Amino acid sequence: MDGRAERGGPGAAERARTVLACAPALDVVVDGPGTDVVAVHAVQLDGTLVLLVPADGSLVCRVAAGPVPCTVHAARVTSVPSPDRVVDRVAVRGLVRLEDDVPAGIDALLTAHPGDPDVVLRPDASALLRVDVRAVAVDGVPISAGEYAAAACDPIAPTGDRLAAHLAAVYSAEVRDLASLLDDATVRAARSVAPIAIDRFGITLQVLSADGFRRARLDFPVAVRSADQLWVAIHALHLRATRLNRS
């Protein structure tokens, strides 16, 4: 074994939960024209979406008489400059309705926004909605509702995305060293390499060559369980790369 990368990463259900939990906003579409952009949202343990919206907004008007079908779109977007900055796209189909259990909904929102409770406990008139999820797709590929409900958000998100941007800005030489763990053809053709996403299993790199760009993964030796373990895992990868380059 020469220490080179193997393909891996989180499953589609975990990716879906992570995108929905960490997206800065969700686009909610119901029957009729227009899209409602919801910035304050959360994902409950069973995968149900909780939305905080204006009490006099169009979504509240549309669900006043009962649940209505909806589609929710969300994306994970890298802050690192890239020809395609979207890392994952998620689409959810379900029923949106007024939230019956307001205390539970508020608790979910406060948990999702621990550093800024004022965005949840707003002085203006707001309403709580919930989306009961019926179908989920990641990058256009359906996943089962059962897998989605049983999955959890990546515990290092969104710290991993901030760290990817930090590595790209400050540690470009070290990132280039990491690229030596990729296959020989990719290494020879690479003009530039940048980390565009980090999850608990490893790093996703963008590799630019004369033929365009592609994405490649480097798996951590062991999946991390918390953001505190990220630097240790990255250091372990860099140590492997250093040893490989010296051999």
pLDDT, tens digit (0-9, with 9 covering 90-100), for 1-46: 333 333 468 999 999 999 999 999 999 999 877 899 999 999 999 9
pLDDT band at 83 (very low <50, low <70, confident <90, very high): confident
Decide if pLDDT at 48 tops 90.
Answer: yes
DSSP 51: E
Domain coordinates of the chain in residue numbers? 12-150, 159-246
- Report the distance separating Cα 165 and Cα 198, nearest Å: 10
**Whether domain 159-246 has CATH 3.40.50.300:** no
How many Cβ atoms sit within 10 Å of the Cβ of residue 12? 21
The pLDDT score that the predictor gives to residue 1 is 30
- Report the distance separating Cα 191 and Cα 149, nearest Å: 41
- As beta bridge partners, residue 50 has 42, 130
First to last CA, the chain: 13
The Cα diameter of the chain in Å comes to 69
pLDDT in tens, 197-244: 999 999 999 988 888 888 889 999 899 999 899 999 999 999 998 888
DSSP 152: -
How many Cβ atoms sit within 10 Å of the Cβ of residue 171? 15
- As beta bridge partners, residue 78 has none
Q: What is the pTM of this model?
A: 0.89
CATH topology of domain 12-150: Pnp Oxidase; Chain A (2.30.110)
Tell me the H-state helices in 114-180. Answer: 145-150, 159-170, 172-179
How many Cβ atoms sit within 10 Å of the Cβ of residue 39? 12
- Report the distance separating Cα 86 and Cα 43, nearest Å: 21
| Percentage of the chain modeled with pLDDT above 90 | 68
